[in-house]
Amino acid sequence: KKVIVFLGTRPEAIKLAPVIELLKADNNFETLVCSTGQHKEMLQQVLDFFKITADFSLEVMEPNQQLAGLTSKLLVKINDLLLAEKPDYIMVQGDTTTTMAASLAAFYNKVSVLHIEAGLRTFNKFSPFPEEINRVITTRLSDFHYPPTDQSERNLLDEGIPADKILVTGNTVIDALFLGLEKIENAIPQGILDLKLQDVKDYILITMHRRENHGSGIQNICEAVRRISEDAKIPVIFPVHLNPNVKDVVHEILGNNPMIHLIPPAAYPEFLWLLNNSKLILTDSGGVQEEAPSLGKPVLLLRDTTERPEAVEAGTVSKVGSDTELIYKEAMNLLTNQSAYDGMAMRSNPYGDGKASQRILDSMLKM
Ligand code: UDP
């Protein structure tokens, strides 16, 4: 059977890499990878780390492009590719514009769609934007659904997806995490050495990129971080997203502070090292919330809505939004109260056991 795997952004590449590795090693499948280049540079670093070569690269990005322009270009180019290659299946992951457009192009060509990380929902049309609607549309277009958790499976069943078209697998991000940690086990990644971060201990790690936080959200969060670092005398490492809406504000509020290390976006191995050695994580990222419980790190979630309620329910993630006082209070509590810290630093992970990719492959072999 011929499968084309579509990926466009860094998290898609991370979460699909372990599946691609297994598919490529299995002779029952001819596996081709198409990179749409939605996040070109950050995506390439991940592909290189996992030694994956894209068989097709679509050039779809243009400066200041609107979503409609991106979607229509993706649709046409993916349609052409499907016409030429005639795969049996396409595989997509998550909720990006690449995911949605590839699924639609596959539907037009009557190609079966396999959707990994299916069933996540905030039930808020505009948050996250446009991802919530990308997920809903992708579900309607998919032929087989791989939700990571029971909760995401329930969302699919509630929308009328038949139970025999669903398999709960855990999230493949945990597979990638374990593979990645193994790869960096014996050496500190070069980027960490270059930035001289190897001796910074017990730091707060921050990542922030969501549109919802652009503007006053980022300002409030940075203000909280400045106060926490000062009052708790704790170092901060902050890989800052390249979007000027994020970068300029962060540098203005947190720049020129010897305790606060503002660094460029970290390549995946560097980021895994930073996660593994951190004390506390502040993030608005989906993937980071899923990774952190496996490493026993508490997370303060810089969002008001979440499509990942499992970790909040399990107690490893606490939702603080962009409220300066709340972020400050929660972080100071975790940093000064060991039992509060230990309560959140559990190692059981609701997002999986690192074997999701094998479950996906086994189910594909039965199709
Ligand atoms: N990540 C990375 N470098 C960074 C920040 C995050 O490699 O500087 C990784 C992280 O390990 C996780 C993924 O990127 O697996 C999350 O991606 P992102 O936060 O961009 O997107 P989201 O998960 O929110 O869709």
Share of the chain above pLDDT 70, in %: 100
Q: What is the pLDDT of residues 249-264, one digit of tens each?
A: 999 999 999 999 999 9
User: Given a cut of 90, is residue 59 above it in pLDDT?
Assistant: no
- C-alpha angle 204-209-210 in degrees, rounded to nearest 5: 120
The residues spanned by each domain of the chain are 2-171+353-365, 190-344
Instruction: Write down the pLDDT at residue 244.
Output: 86
Provide the angle, in degrees to the nearest 10, between the axes of the packed helices 172-183 and 10-24: 80
- What's the pLDDT band for 63 if we cut at 50, 70, 90? confident
242: nearest Cα among 208, 284, 274, 269: 208
306 token code pair: 């979440």
Which residue from 10, 283, 284, 297 has its CB within 8 A of the most atoms of ligand 1, so it is best to mutate? 10
Say which residues have a Cβ less than 8 Å from residue 108's Cβ, sequence separation at least 6. Answer: 79
Contact (CB, 8 A) for 179 and 356: no
Top CATH class of 2-171+353-365 equals: alpha beta
322: nearest Cα among 305, 342, 340, 298: 305
- The verdict on whether 117 is a catalytic residue reads yes
Does pTM top 0.80 for this prediction? yes
Mean pLDDT of 197-206: 97
Q: For residues 112 and 110, what is the distance between their CA atoms, to the nearest angstrom?
A: 6
Name the residue with the closest Cα to ligand 1, atom 20. Answer: 11
Domain 190-344 has CATH 3.75.10.20: no
CATH fold match for the domains 2-171+353-365 and 190-344: yes
Share of the chain above pLDDT 90, in %: 90
User: What is the H or E stretch that residue 181 is in?
Assistant: helix 172-183
Which residue from 9, 116, 207, 237 has its CB within 8 A of the most atoms of ligand 1, so it is best to mutate? 207
